Structure 1
Amino acid sequence: MPLKTSFQPYTLEFKFDAGTSRGVLREKETWFIKVWDEANPKIFGLGEAGPLKKLSIDDREDMHQQLAIILRTLEGREHPKSEEEIYQIAKELAGRDFPSVRFALETALLDLLNGGERIIFKNAFTSSGLKIPINGLIWMGHTDSMLLQITDKVAAGFDCIKMKIGSMDFEKECDILDYVRRKYYQKELLIRVDANGAFKVEEALSQLHTLSKYKIHSIEQPIKAGQPEAMRKLCEQSPIGIALDEELIGVYNKSEKEALLREIRPHYIILKPTLAGGIRSCIEWVEIAAAMNIGWWLTSALESNIGLNAICQLAVHLKAISYQGLGTGQLYYNNIPSPLSVESGHIGYNSHVQWDLKDLTL
């Protein structure tokens, strides 16, 4: 039967000032989309398109109008019968220009395909309580604030923390890392750092050697994206693992992905479906990375629980190992209440808890 669609803008409100190298975040604009079969409107799929300001390709002023056009094109089509058909529809409608919409379409249509119960992939995450280990995210701020965040994360049972760096004085950031290593010397604490491209090319290698003193697992995007030769040299010479993040934005064709990873040869890649072109694009990245012996993990892009739920299920679908970046569900005052919960450094899905969609007006 023909499909029907609707969508709703929604502003997520942070519980605190979230500091990054691109500024302080206090709210995040996102869009929820709803897809249902005209003959059975009570069963519907939900997806989320939440581009990141100043970063996403589809961070644009006319997003509302463009989303309306894309969903109008989906209206009246027959209900897709397979995952591959869904991926093709999302690719056709959203293309390269709207990666977050592509992710939202895939999520909503997969949800609908699986009965409209927020099940994107049928796996152990939702069916048998499998929990995913995640990193505890440390936002930029004053030294005392960052140390308090770290103390709270370790006390909450996190064995891996990810610290945003690049906005403070580098020596102060190193002081924080030194303090953490001395305070928790008896604990096997895995530390990742994320520079968001803040290091200057000519200083980056020296800074990486300094960071290596603190037994850093990896650093995300030490220099700005779009400098493949400089990034390749850093990957060759760095004493700690380098993970590409922003570097992957806008790279959607399989041949382009292969060429990028072959040229730079990073140790890891970070996959955010909202930025990387959706679910099918991330699956392709994983396949290519595995063939080149490059590690990877998934990270949310500050989505609400609608998008976060899809990424968690994708992580299990892809048999992700190690710590994933999926602890962002507790950031907002007005997140969509869901079965997702974080406990002892893991995210899980409590099937006894219902989704609360009362704030949605789709």
Structure 2
Amino acid sequence: MSIRLRFSTRTLTFKFDARTSRGAISDHKVFYISAFKEQEPLVVGIGECAPLAGLSIDFRPDLADKIAEVVHLVNTGKVQLAVGAPLPHDLLLEEWPALRFALETAMLDLENGGKRQVFNNAFSRGEAGIPINGLIWMGDANFMQQQIEKKLKEGYTCLKLKIGGLDFTQELEILQRIREAASASCLTIRVDANGAFSPQDAFKKLEKLSKYAIHSIEQPIRQGQPEAMAQLCAYSPVPIALDEELIGIQQQDAKQQLLEQVKPQYIILKPSLLGGLAASAQWIELAEQQEIGWWMTSALESNIGLNAISQFTGNYDITMPQGLGTGQLYHNNIPSPLQIRHGELWYDQVKQWDLSEV
């Protein structure tokens, strides 16, 4: 049976200006790729292409043109997709990781009956939850404190704070208040600098952060400085997790070389940025061979993309909280069975997807 594609767009609006060290964003344009068999048009697999400005290599003005080109190549039979097979090289997706993720998950969804059951595991069957961290966004001290209090009341045992947007002294004061309210034995704190520190001052800042029993810091300096990052990973009093550093590295030998050179304590995997689930699985395998820890994180996708990443995560024996709590960020997210209960993400089999606007 011939596979056909179509696509649509949606602009997701944040409930607040989502601030990182790169600035604030108030909305997020995403594309939905639908895959179906020509003879069974009502059975549809859906994937999400949601690149981020300033981060994704495929956040480009010609992205819509590339998606239209891929749809045209498939629908005219010039390139054929097959259920259960890798994506064809003829689609030239190396520079389009978010699009690759969307096509990959749409085909997996189609393979499993077009029911958003991308994988069959305890999570996707609604039998087990995935522990997640509570995400605390940058803002003024009061805004951050309000978020922290709310997450603690909701039962989170791990908080992740975006840092690098306020004066560093203010950020340390916020950490001090958290630790006064909750010790390291009952609350894990992660911080994400998004590359905000300079190589010259990073170590001093890491020393100050270490006083608050920080579990890990994501990307303390900007990516593309492997020697400086390796030095930090070797001597930092706070374990370091690579995030943006992984973007754009596609070949297995290059991935292995990066991990061997930098020797991070952790890596963070965002399929939309890395080229999909198969690419993420390769990173996991390489990391585990070198005894490097890892966790999965969504990249501000809507519930379509978040669902695929979460079900993929459910294939693994998870012990650490994952970064999968972003479904509550938007006013107009896609209604789905995904629910957060007491710091865990669950797939509620009773709830239905509302795909009327996809």
TM-score above 0.5: yes
Unaligned runs of 5+ in 2: none
- Whole-angstrom CA distance in 2 between matches of 1:218 and 1:129: 30
Q: Deviations over 1:251-295 (max 9, x none)?
A: 011011000101100000000000011110000000000000000
Match of 1:340 in 2: 338
Instruction: Flag the 1:240–1:186 CA change in 2: closer, same or farther, 3 A.
Output: closer
Cα offset for 1:343? Answer: 1.2
User: Do 1:99 and 1:275's aligned partners in 2 also have CA atoms closer than 8 Å?
Assistant: yes
Aligned residue identity for 1:271: L
Match of 1:72 in 2: 72
- Counting only pairs closer than 5 Å after superposition, residues 242-321 of structure 1 correspond to structure 2 as 242-321=240-319
Match of 2:324 in 1: 326
- Whole-angstrom CA distance in 2 between matches of 1:296 and 1:186: 20
Cα offset for 1:74? Answer: 2.5
Paired residues, what number? 356
**SS at 2:177 equivalent:** helix
User: Do 1:283 and 1:318's aligned partners in 2 also have CA atoms closer than 8 Å?
Assistant: no
Q: Deviations over 1:12-67 (max 9, x none)?
A: 00011111111111100110010000000110100000000011000100111111
**SS at 1:4 equivalent:** strand
- Whole-angstrom CA distance in 2 between matches of 1:175 and 1:339: 38
Q: Deviations over 1:295-335 (max 9, x none)?
A: 00000000000000000001011333310000000110110
Instruction: Flag the 1:155–1:187 CA change in 2: closer, same or farther, 3 A.
Output: farther
Match of 1:62 in 2: 62
- Counting only pairs closer than 5 Å after superposition, residues 1-362 of structure 1 correspond to structure 2 as 1-75=1-75, 76=77, 80-82=82-84, 85=85, 87-89=86-88, 92-185=90-183, 188-360=186-358
| Moved segments of 4+, more than 3 Å | 76-79
TM-score scaled by length of structure 1: 0.96
- Whole-angstrom CA distance in 1 between matches of 2:237 and 2:298: 27
Cα offset for 1:226? Answer: 0.3
Cα offset for 1:92? Answer: 4.8
Cα RMSD after superposing both structures: 1.2
Aligned residue identity for 2:97: P
- Whole-angstrom CA distance in 2 between matches of 1:72 and 1:255: 33
User: Do 2:126 and 2:348's aligned partners in 1 also have CA atoms closer than 8 Å?
Assistant: no
**SS at 2:82 equivalent:** coil
User: Do 2:20 and 2:162's aligned partners in 1 also have CA atoms closer than 8 Å?
Assistant: yes
Unaligned runs of 5+ in 1: none
Aligned residue identity for 1:58: D
- Whole-angstrom CA distance in 1 between matches of 2:65 and 2:93: 16
**SS at 2:240 equivalent:** strand
Cα offset for 1:79? Answer: 5.8
**SS at 1:125 equivalent:** coil
TM-score scaled by length of structure 2: 0.97
User: Do 2:241 and 2:264's aligned partners in 1 also have CA atoms closer than 8 Å?
Assistant: yes
Cα offset for 1:73? Answer: 2.1
Aligned residue identity for 2:50: G
Aligned residue identity for 2:59: D
- Whole-angstrom CA distance in 2 between matches of 1:235 and 1:187: 24
